[in-house]
Amino acid sequence: QVQLIESGGGLVQAGGSLTLSCAASERTFRNYLMGWFRQAPGKEREFVAVLNWGGGIIMYADSVKGRFTISRDNAKNTVYLLMNSLKPEDTAVYYCAASGHLGPTSNSNLYNYWGQGTQVTVSS
């Protein structure tokens, strides 16, 4: 059982930056794809970014491409999401997730473990 704990959310003005962290409890963390998803009020959960264990294969949602950067530190069992140029429409609860799928995927149904989420609010 992999436990994921997100941190780093908060309130920021439009144009600002935040870095989210997700710490995994499992030492086999490096075997999993790690992804970030978000869910805004009244909307479905949506894919944000994913990377494979080596960090060499990365995929982003079009809405965040060029502004967000996903990375991981396998030695620390942690994945990060650096968010720059934040917009009010980025406001959501952000979740990290782990998947045993072979290739990077944006399909939330293929993720086995989820964190509890961290709130990001971007004011205009």
For the cut 80, the answer to whether the pLDDT of residue 28 exceeds it is no
* Average pLDDT of span 30-36: 89
- Residue-level pLDDT at 1: 77
Per residue in 48-102, pLDDT (tens digit) is: 999 988 888 899 999 999 999 999 998 899 999 999 999 999 999 999 999 988 8
Exposed/middle/buried for 121, CB within 10 Å: 0-12, 13-18, 19+? middle
30 pLDDT band, cuts 50/70/90, is confident
